[in-house]
Structure 1
């Protein structure tokens, strides 16, 4: 096969980035080349598109895979080299998953919050950390951030398997691994158990919804960005139907009106109303059950200078559990206000990371 000079130059640039900036940026350069782009625009293809059946492996690059284990990749996260970004692994009967952990610099003796961040399909921990800027916020506001990583052995596109029955249950499958990682960090570090949170994007958002539903005693609140409600799929066809806002499986429709399934913990939801991958109807389903009584100033349309307009709806359940729904007008399937160094980011949106953090810190675990 003969490659043109432009493509070869792109590959040389990717190898340079691999050596100097790490695997995530090298992969981004390759993907930009394949799309015919020459600038640093973030991905416009939705992470949901890479379903297990549809995934096509374009590059098998052992050097990139091996570089994932190098400590040098820690230098890619701009936090003024103060905190520590390390790699760990957790195993149980369901398998083994690596995770990255950011710990802010200094030990002031106080217990710190922990946020568990679940990436979307085709992403990894470094990519998600770069795109959300969560490590920068962690250094500034002093909290820990964990990034569990899905393996390609478990899902070829590195999607969390939110649509498989065994991966939707408490103490089974992937939820047990994510909960195990969370407990491991709480036990090993000075973490405030009343301020442990979970958040995610796309497939990671769907898994975050499962985690807050299955482990309300472990997580004080959840953030779901462009995600899917828990329990709305049992296989790939039903998952695709749910993503497109189609008819829910019968058991999920019943669950929505079951008092036992009413919200137990606060949730903040972000979704673009131009999302062509996951229908915004999923966002309204995520906050169903919170509309027993509106919060004061329930709905406000806002526009920050230079950013997309958005509407914030504040809701409260019958038991006094809060929720916020952020509808971002004209936004695609991407992390709002994210850093374009990461994939699936929309820099022109409101700052979802900062707003999630604000919401989380307002909602410690209630007894």
Structure 2
């Protein structure tokens, strides 16, 4: 279904709301479950406060099932209000499908992160042929000394997910803290609501999948501007993102392979896996339908991929396709590759499985981290930010380890 011409509630949510109004709470729950992921999400028993874009349907179902035990008007009204309150925490990471401002979790996505002495978190605006866009730039506290010593620092471009802001993304990923430790600059481009009502990067539009056009052109211009205006080592520029931001990071690596030395993809989608809204919605749910081969013979950009195997917003099939697409390009350009598999386990369970491909020198060129039991959230993130899972592995640390080992 194409909702691109207008902002409205998709039919399945409209149906659910009508059922709620008539007191049919269990039926409303079933409608949402069916249309969100095809089956009810696995229930989470962990007590950590994970902020995910997939609602805990098990709690909603428990609440609605009690309707059968008590059918009084007051009781139905109470359960309906309870269900409505829970719905306020329900939001979809769908591109431009609906205005979800009324369904937000209450997280202040513009709260300023802590900035240590002598560090800066600057506000900037870049005007280009693609329009005017805001961004935030983190400059570590040792930057002045590095300039004085004639050093040039790495730069990481961080692309937020839908409904997020640069500030929220900085808090959730803790990238500013890591920038202090590793002495690098971090730039957070901001997608305005004027470009997408939910602040999603438009990864599914053909005009935003090409070099020299749309959002890729602006992001490339911003990257170039930071390189020219600050003491940046142009050979150590990296790009990473979450969800829609991760999909756009893949697009940037595909179209500007000489600009970026590495790409980090968290809960993202393969290059050109969708070309419009209907195909984007389908791809998010079940992955691309056609074999996804590299679109060109451009230079391979080293890539690290993270995806939760309980992601009911962007199916893990997409993470697999990102990996497979990158592997095809790597295998076409490199010989002597070796594949290694690792597991990160505790006494209770294995949290992640990693598939790694190294070049003939033993340097990791492509990594795929399948995070067991995780939803659509940044692994190892700060719970003060949105879409974060405080449990490991720490995606931010692993990304920087991967980038700086190239």
Q: Do the two structures share a fold, i.e. TM-score over 0.5?
A: yes
TM-score range, shorter chain: 0.7 to 0.9
Per the TM alignment, residue 82 of structure 1 is displaced from its structure 2 partner at its CA by: 3.4
Q: Of the candidates 315, 318, 323, which is equivalent to residue 357 of structure 2?
A: 315
Q: 2:237 and 2:357 mapped to 1: Cα distance?
A: 22
**CA pair 318-172 structure 1, distance change in 2 beyond 3 A:** farther
**CA pair 280-50 structure 1, distance change in 2 beyond 3 A:** closer
**CA pair 304-86 structure 1, distance change in 2 beyond 3 A:** farther
The answer (yes or no) to whether the contact 1:103–1:145 under 8 Å persists in 2 is yes
Per the TM alignment, residue 86 of structure 1 is displaced from its structure 2 partner at its CA by: 0.4
Aligned to 1:327: 370
Aligned to 2:244: 203
Q: Of the candidates 158, 164, 188, which is equivalent to residue 123 of structure 1?
A: 164
Alignment deviations for residues 210-248 of structure 1 (CA, whole Å, 9 cap, x no partner): 000000010011000000011111101111111112443
Q: 2:357 and 2:136 mapped to 1: Cα distance?
A: 33
The answer (yes or no) to whether the contact 2:139–2:185 under 8 Å persists in 1 is yes
Q: Of the candidates 381, 385, 400, which is equivalent to residue 338 of structure 1?
A: 381
Alignment deviations for residues 68-126 of structure 1 (CA, whole Å, 9 cap, x no partner): 6xxxx6xx323433311001011212222100000111322311000000000000000
Q: Of the candidates 97, 100, 125, which is equivalent to residue 53 of structure 1?
A: 97
Verify: 1:298 aligned to 2:340, yes or no.
Answer: yes
Q: Of the candidates 383, 390, 393, which is equivalent to residue 350 of structure 1?
A: 393
- In the TM superposition, 1:151-170 aligns within 5 A as 151-170=192-211
Q: Which residues of structure 1 form unaligned runs of 5+?
A: 1-38
Aligned to 1:194: 235
Verify: 1:279 aligned to 2:315, yes or no.
Answer: yes
Q: Of the candidates 218, 224, 227, which is equivalent to residue 259 of structure 2?
A: 218
Aligned to 2:188: 147
Per the TM alignment, residue 44 of structure 1 is displaced from its structure 2 partner at its CA by: 2.5
Per the TM alignment, residue 54 of structure 1 is displaced from its structure 2 partner at its CA by: 2.2
The answer (yes or no) to whether the contact 1:290–1:317 under 8 Å persists in 2 is no
- In the TM superposition, 1:226-241 aligns within 5 A as 226-241=267-282
Q: TM (normalized to structure 1)?
A: 0.77
Q: 1:95 and 1:248 mapped to 2: Cα distance?
A: 34
C-alpha RMSD of matched pairs (Å) = 2.8
Per the TM alignment, residue 296 of structure 1 is displaced from its structure 2 partner at its CA by: 5.2
Which of 1 and 2 has greater Rg? 2
Per the TM alignment, residue 314 of structure 1 is displaced from its structure 2 partner at its CA by: 0.5
Per the TM alignment, residue 290 of structure 1 is displaced from its structure 2 partner at its CA by: 1.9
Number of residue pairs aligned between Structure 1 and Structure 2: 309
The answer (yes or no) to whether the contact 2:257–2:299 under 8 Å persists in 1 is no
Q: Which residues of structure 2 form unaligned runs of 5+?
A: 1-46, 55-90
Q: TM (normalized to structure 2)?
A: 0.70
